[in-house]
């Protein structure tokens, strides 16, 4: 990624809630860069502030201290809950995002069909949410996020509720779509295997307060996956360090 410009830059971000003796620091002095077309996964135990960091980058909350710069326009966000409107079809859910993005009415339907085809749902434009499987709903949510026309996608454990087989399929689809569109991704997960399967870089956060304490480079996209000895070894290394951080947090 050398020479690529940063689309997100988090400089010394601290997030605290409350005041005085009730003040609780969730994030402390966090530094993180996401480069153009890069896929970064953030892992950490519960309470490490992973989701809080994502909310700060998304503009859903503000940092108490520090600076967060986003140079690629407002990022699109995907959560674990697909948050689709159940009374709308898959296509209409995507069209709604296109309308909010300022796309002219005459081209919304065609663009929605194109985006659904991009995520492997070419035949699902007219289906309602209750007719879709969990994996299909997350594909629609991805198409809706991409409809916002951004170069940056923020994802907060979007596949956590899905079974292992569906998750692997969606991992491949996500990587393919992001490669085709040059989308940069900041992806929060508690699953180290998922992080290694997806990321160019894996960032580990400590708990209470959340700090960036380690970082690993996973390698080329074509080498991704967890079925090789190198990948499995990296999963073990990150998992061990995660356990160490959890133990340190428990002793505080």
> Do the domain assignments include residue 134?
yes
> Do the domain assignments include residue 129?
yes
Q: Which of 109, 124, 149 is the C-terminal boundary of a domain?
A: 149
Tens digits of pLDDT across the chain (252 residues):
445 689 999 999 999 998 887 888 999 999 999 999 999 999 988 778 899 999 999 999 999 999 999 887 789 999 888 889 999 999 999 999 999 888 888 899 999 999 999 999 999 999 999 999 999 999 999 999 999 888 899 999 999 888 999 888 889 999 988 998 899 999 999 999 999 999 999 999 998 889 999 999 987 544 455 667 788 889 999 999 998 877 776 666
Side by side, the strands of the sheet bearing 65-70 are: 24-35, 6-17, 65-70
Count: domains in the chain: 2
End-to-end CA distance of the chain: 37
pLDDT for res 221: 46
Q: Are residues 58 and 156 in the same domain?
A: yes
Q: Is the full-model pTM beyond 0.85? A: yes
Q: Are residues 55 and 171 in the same domain?
A: yes
Q: Are residues 186 and 248 in the same domain?
A: yes
> Do the domain assignments include residue 78?
no
Q: Which of 100, 127, 149 is the C-terminal boundary of a domain?
A: 149
Structural domain of 106: 85-149
pLDDT for res 105: 86
């Amino acid at each position: 990624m050398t020479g690529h410009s940063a689309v997100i830059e988090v400089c010394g971000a601290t997030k605290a809630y409350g005041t005085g003796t009730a003040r609780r620091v969730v994030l402390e002095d966090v530094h993180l860069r996401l480069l153009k077309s890069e896929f970064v996964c953030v892992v950490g135990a519960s309470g490490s502030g992973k989701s809080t960091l994502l909310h700060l980058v998304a503009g859903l909350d503000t940092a108490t201290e520090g600076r967060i710069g986003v140079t690629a326009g407002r990022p699109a966000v995907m959560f674990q809950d697909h948050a689709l409107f159940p009374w709308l079809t898959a296509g209409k859910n995507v069209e709604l995002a296109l309308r909010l993005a300022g796309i002219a009415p005459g081209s919304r339907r065609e663009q929605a069909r194109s985006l659904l085809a991009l995520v492997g749902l070419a035949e699902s434009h007219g289906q309602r949410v209750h007719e879709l499987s969990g994996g299909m709903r997350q594909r629609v949510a991805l198409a809706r996020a991409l409809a916002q026309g951004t170069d940056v996608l923020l994802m907060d454990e979007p596949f956590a509720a899905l079974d292992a087989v569906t998750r692997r399929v969606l991992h491949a689809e996500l990587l393919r779509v992001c490669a085709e569109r040059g989308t940069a991704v900041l992806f929060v997960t508690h699953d180290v295997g998922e992080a290694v399967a997806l990321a160019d870089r894996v960032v580990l956060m400590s708990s209470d307060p959340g700090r960036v304490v380690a970082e690993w480079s996973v390698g080329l996209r074509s080498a991704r996956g967890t079925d090789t000895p190198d990948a499995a070894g990296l999963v073990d290394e990150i998992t061990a360090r995660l356990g160490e951080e959890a133990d340190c947090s428990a002793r505080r």
